[in-house]
Amino acid sequence: MSIGLRLEVDLDKIKYNAAKVVELCHSHGIAVLGVTKGFTAIPQIVAAMLEGGVDGLADARMENIIELRNEGFSESITLLRIPQLSNVENVVTYSNVSVNSEVAVIRALGKAAKEKGLVHQIILMVDVGDLREGVMTENVLATVRQVIGLEGIRLVGLGTNMGCFGGILPEYSNLNILVNLGKLIETRLGIKLEVLSGGGTSSLFLVERNEIPAGINQLRIGEGMLLGTDTTNSRNIEWLKNDAFLLKAEVIEAKLKPSVPIGNIGRDSFGNIPEFIDVGIRNRAIVALGKQDAYIEGLVPVDQGLSILGASSDHMILDITDATRQVRVGDELTFHVTYSGLLSVSQSKYVKKVFRKDNIWLS
């Protein structure tokens, strides 16, 4: 086992989570795309998702999708961020499907695909309330009319996103908007859509309770199968593993110190004015981990009684006074990562990634 700042990844737990999510969704006629953006599409983790049985892959970054193709992944990949007009050639070359909301971009995708002898599949995103991307519901039919005759593209479905900007929770009522729009398109235009993509991990709650509208037949799952959590619904998913990722950092100082800095307080190195509460002398530890390595607010100490006080670019300070074990210089402290924490540590070149598979640590 390597030492130093590292993210330990249990591939078997990710495979387990993927398999459980797939089993639940398939029992409701719902396909599952494994979303790879939360860990920058690290190939070992992508392979674990696929071993768990996901029906395809999805990512928001073309850089990740291109890297997956270069690594030999031939599965269908959906681009989850609406395409940039300046990048349509890469979109049609490397992704099978993209989500879209702008007719001008869809036209450009069709032109680029036709020039390459391809037909690019698109999902038209519909805004049902979260106010991120998507056509407003009253404009969907008119938008579909504009794109169905375009060469080089094929409209395969409708999709929506919730919980990422406005924090809107998926419910039967807002997801059923997609179902009704699909029926309207079929009735008015004679087009039977193949896909109604009803969001991500936050929609799993409806599947568990058998409350997802009939007709929703795809979910795009990242956080749930990676971390066993559902941030939008503020819950751990009890039937999934929530410790597939553990961040470990070494203690480089452990001392008794006052709880309030001494002297006049100005701004810290990030331009903020810190505030402190005087609780007397406390036992504090510093670990070799800072804001340059991870999003500190996305880390949770595994050991009971530890609390994160803050961090600079290279040092994170913890209160260890109430720790259930003695913490010494040279010890390692372990942290759970939230989805925001995983996003940051997975792309940090300073955090080594190590993998466990079949009870063997891989380099």
Q: Residue 324 maps to which CATH number?
A: 2.40.37.10
Which tokens belong to 178?
């997609």
At residue 118, the pLDDT reads 98
Beta bridge partners of residue 310, listed in sequence order: 317
Residues 195 and 266 in one domain: no
Residue where one domain finishes, among candidates 204, 231, 258: 231
Task: Express each pLDDT in 87-142 by its tens digit.
Answer: 999 999 999 999 999 999 999 999 999 999 999 999 999 999 888 899 999 999 99
Instruction: For residue 233, give the 3-state DSSP assignment.
Output: coil
Beta bridge partners of residue 154, listed in sequence order: 121
CATH of the domain at 19: 3.20.20.10
**Nearest by Cα to 216 from 32, 78, 63, 90:** 32
Residue where one domain finishes, among candidates 168, 203, 231: 231
At residue 251, the pLDDT reads 98
Instruction: Please report which confidence band the pLDDT of residue 2 belongs to, taking 50, 70 and 90 as the band edges.
Output: low
Say which amino acid occupies 206.
L
* 221 in any annotated domain: yes
Phi, psi dihedral angles at 117 (to 5 degrees): 70, 30
Where in the sequence numbering do the catalytic residues fall?
Answer: 37
Q: Is the pLDDT of residue 326 over 90?
A: yes
pTM (2 decimals)? 0.94
DSSP structure string for 236-296: E-TTS-S-SEEEEEEEEEEEEEESS-SS-----TTS---------EEEEEEES--TTTS-G
Residues 143 and 253 in one domain: no
Residues 108 and 225 in one domain: yes
Q: What is the maximal distance between C-alpha atoms in the chain?
A: 74
* 97 in any annotated domain: yes
Residue 166 Cα to chain centre, angstroms:
16
Strands annotated E in the chain: 6-10, 31-35, 56-59, 77-79, 97-100, 120-127, 135-136, 153-159, 195-197, 218-221, 229-230, 235-236, 245-258, 281-287, 299-301, 307-311, 316-319, 332-337, 352-357, 360-362
- C-alpha distances in Å from residue 40, one per residue of 64, 87, 134, 167, 263: 6, 19, 24, 23, 43
Say which amino acid occupies 267.
R
At residue 114, the pLDDT reads 98
Task: Express each pLDDT in 218-229 by its tens digit.
Answer: 999 999 999 999
* 2 in any annotated domain: no
Residues 286 and 223 in one domain: no
Residues 198 and 343 in one domain: no
Task: Express each pLDDT in 209-266 by its tens digit.
Answer: 999 999 999 999 999 999 999 988 999 999 999 999 999 999 999 999 988 788 777 7
Residues 83 and 206 in one domain: yes
Domain tally, the chain: 2
Q: State how far the Cα of 98 lies from the Cα of 79, in Å rounded to an integer.
A: 5
Residues 118 and 182 in one domain: yes
Phi, psi dihedral angles at 119 (to 5 degrees): -120, 115
Structural domain range at position 332: 245-362
* 92 in any annotated domain: yes
Residues 145 and 39 in one domain: yes
Q: State how far the Cα of 25 lies from the Cα of 54, in Å rounded to an integer.
A: 10
Q: Is the pLDDT of residue 183 over 60?
A: yes
At residue 363, the pLDDT reads 65
Instruction: Please report which confidence band the pLDDT of residue 277 belongs to, taking 50, 70 and 90 as the band edges.
Output: confident
Which tokens belong to 266?
């100005």
Residues 219 and 255 in one domain: no
Residues 15 and 93 in one domain: yes
* 237 in any annotated domain: no
* 240 in any annotated domain: no
* 3 in any annotated domain: no
What integer best gives the mean pLDDT of the chain? 95
Lookup result for tokens 């070149």 = 349
Residues 189 and 72 in one domain: yes
Please give the DSSP secondary-structure letter assigned to residue 82: P
Phi, psi dihedral angles at 114 (to 5 degrees): -60, -40
Instruction: Please report which confidence band the pLDDT of residue 157 belongs to, taking 50, 70 and 90 as the band edges.
Output: very high
Residues 134 and 178 in one domain: yes
At residue 7, the pLDDT reads 98
More confidently predicted of 306 and 166: 306
* 30 in any annotated domain: yes
Task: Express each pLDDT in 14-67 by its tens digit.
Answer: 999 999 999 999 999 999 999 999 999 999 999 999 999 999 999 999 999 999
